[in-house]
A and B are shown apart, each in its own frame.
Chain A
Amino acid sequence: MLGELKNKHNAVEMHNIVKEFYDVRANDDVDFFVKNGSIHGLLGENGAGKTTLMNILFGIYHPEEGEIFINGEKQDISSPTKAISLGIGMVHQHFMLARPFSIVENVMLGRKSRKGILLDTKETAADLVALAEKYKMKIDPYAKVWQLSVGEQQRVEILTALYQGAEVLILDEPTAVLTPQEVEGLFETLREMKNDGKAIILITHKLEEILSIVDEVTVLRDGSMIGHVEVNENTTKSELTKMMVGRDVLFNFNKACIKTGKEKLVIKDLKVLNDKNFLALDGFSLDIHSGEILGLAGVDGNGQKELCEAITGIRPIEAGEVKLDTINIENKPPIVAINKGISHIPEDRHITGLALGWSLKKNLILKTFKDNTKFGLVDEKKIEKRWKSAQVDYDIKANSGEDSAKDLSGGNQQKVILARELGSHPVILIANQPTRGLDIGATEYVRQKIIDAKGDGAGVLLVSADLEEILQLSDRIAVIYDGKIMGILPCGSNVKNIGELMMGKKLEVEENEK
C-alpha cells in the first residue's frame, strides 16, 4: 500500500530552481525529476551547477526561487536535518567524515541515540555490520576513519545515509576516487538499492558511467538544464557530450608511444614519511627518461603527494637516492631542484601552487625573483613584460597582472602555474593531478601543454588518479600502491590490469613490453 502510494509520484521534483552566488548564477531555472526505484544521472562539466543543485535538495543551500516536491508533497527543505527526515541522504564529493573518529562514531553523529543522552555504540556497530552485509560491503565499525582507504570512506558515507533511512540517495562524483574494480563494487551496491525501490542520483561527468548504470540522465550546462534523456542502447556518448559541452570534443592527442630518450631522473629505494610519520614511500624506485610522459597511476593517498614533494625538495627523505643525470639531489633545498630545471605542478593549486592573495605577476615570478631584479631591487618593467608574454602564450583570462590569483577560475589559475613552471623549459616536469577540477576546455589545454613540454625534451612524471588521463597521455604507465611501484606497463595496456595493480594485486600474466 505504502509502496503503491509512493510510486505514483516522483521521488523528487525540483521546479524552476534559481540559485545565485554573488554574481554567479549557479542554477538558472532548473527542473529536475527523479523516479522511485531508478538510478538517475546528473551530468555536466565542472562548474555546471550539479553540486549546487543537490546541495539545495539536501537543505545546505536555500534557493532564491523554485519549489521542491518529495513524493508529491511540497517541502521547504531548510536544513540537512529536514532533508534527512524526508529520507534524503547525500554522499558529498569531499567526504563529510571526522577523521579521528571511528566509523561508528561518525554514524552516530547523524542519529538519535536509543539510549537517550548516552551513546549507543554497541548497538549501532552491530546494525552497521548487518546493513553493510545486506548491500554486499564489508566494514570494521571500530576502525578510525583516517586509517581507511578512500573507497572504504565512501562506503561509510553510503552506510551512514542508508542508516539514517535514506530513500533518495545523492552521490556527488562518487567514482572520481575509485579504482575500476571499486567502481564495479559501488555499482553493484547501487543496483541492489535500486531494486529495493530507492531513488539514486549519480552526479558525474563521466559518460561511460552514465551509459553503464543510469536509467535516465539530466544534463546541466552553465547552470541551466539542457535536457533530460532516457538512457537505452541507442544513447551515444557523442550525443551526451554535445549536450554537456555544447560542441564536439575529441580527446585525441595522437600519441605514438615513442621510444623514449635517455634516463634523466633516477629514483632509488626511496623512503619518505608522511605527515603522520608513517612511511608513505617504502622502497620506491623509478626512472624517468627525457622526452617521455611517465604516467603514475594509483588511488589517491598511496604516496603520490609525498613522492612529488620529495623529488622537488619540499619533503625530507629518510633513505634512498634521487639522481638527476648523475648528481644526487636528495634532501637538497627546493632551490636546487628549481635551478636544475625540475618544475612542479602541485596537487593543490590553492595551497602549494599559488599565493592566492598575491597578484598574478608575482605568482608568475615566484621562483625567479632573483632574475627579475635590478641592483637588488624588484624590476617592475621586466616583470610586466614577462606577464604580458605569459598572458598571451598561455591564454590567461584576467584583466591585468595585478589581479589577485584568487579571483581567477580554476582553469586560469592552472594556466598561471603552467606559465611559471613551463616558461623555464624544464628538463623534468612533475605534474601532480594537473587537470583535477578543471572543465573540459581547460583540461584539453593543460594536457596539450604537457605534451608540448615532452616534445620539448622534458621528462614528465604525470601523477593522476584519473585513469583515462593516464591512458591518453602516457608513454609508460607505472602503478603505485602503498608507497611502492607495483609494476610498469607499456602504453596501450589493459585497464583491468592497471586496476588490479592499483589495488595492490600482482598480475597473473605479465604483459609483454611491446
Chain B
Amino acid sequence: MLSNIFTVSFFVSLLASTIRLATPILLPALGQTFTQRAGILNLSVEATMTIGAVAGFAATFFSGSLWLGILSGMVFGMLYGLFMAILSVTLRANQVIAGITLNILGAGLAVFFYRVIFGIQSLPPQVEPFKMLKIPFLSDIPFIGVIFFQHNIIVYLAFIMVIVTWFILEKTTFGLKIKAVGENPKAADSKGISVNKYRYIAILIGGIYAGAAGAFMSIGYLNIFTESIIGGRGFIAVSVVIFARFLPIRAMWGALLFGVASALQLRLQALGIDVANQLMLMLPYALTIIALVLASKKAEFPSAYTIPYSRKER
C-alpha cells in the first residue's frame, strides 16, 4: 500500500505544490522582514492579505487584467498598512493591540466590500487566474522541470524577491537605515535618519507584499474570493519572520516548510488516507508552530522591537 503512495511522481508533484503553497507565506514574510527589522511587529498581516485578496479579485473581475489585480492588491495592502503606521508610529500605540484591532477590523472590511461589490450570489463569481508559465528548456528537464519551472509568474517573482529583499537589506543604504531604526532608533536619529519616516516606509512595504500575496491567493492560486481564503497564512508569515531570525533566506526555508506540510496534507487527503480530516488540516500549522518554537529561541530581536520611539524620552 505504502509503496503505491510514495512513487516518484508523488514526490515530484508534492514538491511542485510545496513551492506553490509556500508562495503566499513567503511574500508576506519578506515584507514583514522589513517591517520587523524596523522594530514594528505588525499582527494585522492576515487582514491585510484578506483585503489584498478582495481588492485583487475585484480589480481583475471588472478589468479582466490580472496584473491590474496584483497592483490593486498591492495598493490596498499598502493603504491598510498606513493605518498600522499611523497607530504605531505617529500615535505610538501599543503594537500588539493595534495589530489585533486592525486584524479584526480588516477582516470585516474585506468581507463587507466583497458583499457590497458582488452582492450575495448562489454561485461565487470567478476569474480566469494566472496561467502556468513554463520556462522554456528548463521546464523540460525531468522532475526538476516540473518541480521548479512549471508555475505561474507570481511564484517565480516571489522567489526572486528573496534575493531582492536580501540585497536591499544587506547592500543598500536604505536597508541599513531600516535596520538601524529597529536596532537603535536614538542612534539613527542622532545620525540624521528620520526614525518615523523609515518606520512608515517599512510598514508600507510590509503592506504591499502582504497585499500582493492576498491577490495571489484569489487570482493566482484560486480563482474566487472567500472569507477564509487566507486561512491563517498571515499569522504564519509573521512568525516565520521570527523563526528566520529576520533573515530573508531563512524566511524562504520557513515558508517552504509550511509549504511542504500543506502539500503533504493535501496529497494524503486526496489519496484518501484514513485520518480525521481535521487532524490533517492541522498538520501544516502544527508543524510550523513546532519548528518556530524550536528555532525562535535563538532569535535575537532588534533591540527596539515593538518599542515606539520619541526623541523626548531618555
Q: Which residues of A contact B (CB under 8 A)?
A: 21, 58, 60-61, 79-81, 84, 90, 92, 95-101, 105-106, 108-110, 113, 117-119, 160
CA distance A130 to B46 in the complex (A): 50
* Set B172, B173, B303, B312: member contacting A99, Cβ < 8 A: B303
Is B112 close to A, CB under 8 A? no
* Set B177, B190, B303: member contacting A80, Cβ < 8 A: B190
Q: Are A92 and B184 in contact (CB under 8 A)?
A: no
Q: Are A80 and B191 in contact (CB under 8 A)?
A: yes
**Would you list which residues of chain B between 166 and 187 have a CB under 8 Å from chain A?**
171-174, 176-177, 179-180, 183-184, 186-187
Instruction: Name 9 A/B residue pairs within 8 A (Cβ), A-sorted.
Output: A96-B184, A97-B187, A98-B180, A99-B183, A101-B179, A101-B180, A101-B183, A109-B193, A160-B191
Interface size on B, as a range, is 20 to 34
CA distance A118 to B176 in the complex (A): 10
Q: Are B173 and A92 in contact (CB under 8 A)?
A: no
* Set B172, B190, B300: member contacting A96, Cβ < 8 A: B190
* Set A84, A106, A108: member contacting B173, Cβ < 8 A: A108
User: Interface residues of A: mostly helix, strand, loop or mixed?
Assistant: loop
CA distance A61 to B186 in the complex (A): 13
* Set A81, A96, A110: member contacting B186, Cβ < 8 A: A96
Q: Are A100 and B300 in contact (CB under 8 A)?
A: yes
Q: Which residues of B contact A (CB under 8 A)?
A: 171-174, 176-177, 179-180, 183-184, 186-193, 300, 303, 311-312
CA distance A79 to B193 in the complex (A): 10
Residue in B closest to A115 when the chains form the complex, CB atoms: B173
In the bound complex, residues from chain A placing their C-beta under 8 Å from that of B187 are 95-98, 106, 109
In the bound complex, residues from chain A placing their C-beta under 8 Å from that of B176 are 101, 105, 108-109, 119
In the bound complex, residues from chain A placing their C-beta under 8 Å from that of B192 are 79-81, 84, 110
Q: Are A58 and B173 in contact (CB under 8 A)?
A: no
Chain A: minimal CB distance from B247 (Å): 12
In the bound complex, residues from chain B placing their C-beta under 8 Å from that of A90 are 190
Chain A: minimal CB distance from B195 (Å): 11
A98-B172 in contact given A90-B190, A109-B177 (Cβ < 8 Å): no
Q: Are A58 and B190 in contact (CB under 8 A)?
A: yes
Chain B: minimal CB distance from A355 (Å): 19
In the bound complex, residues from chain A placing their C-beta under 8 Å from that of B190 are 58, 60, 80, 90, 92, 96
CA distance A80 to B190 in the complex (A): 5
Q: Are A109 and B188 in contact (CB under 8 A)?
A: yes
A98-B179 in contact given A80-B189, A80-B191, A90-B190 (Cβ < 8 Å): yes
Chain A: minimal CB distance from B206 (Å): 20
In the bound complex, residues from chain B placing their C-beta under 8 Å from that of A58 are 190
CA distance A80 to B173 in the complex (A): 18
CA distance A110 to B192 in the complex (A): 7
In the bound complex, residues from chain B placing their C-beta under 8 Å from that of A95 are 187
Q: Are B191 and A119 in contact (CB under 8 A)?
A: no
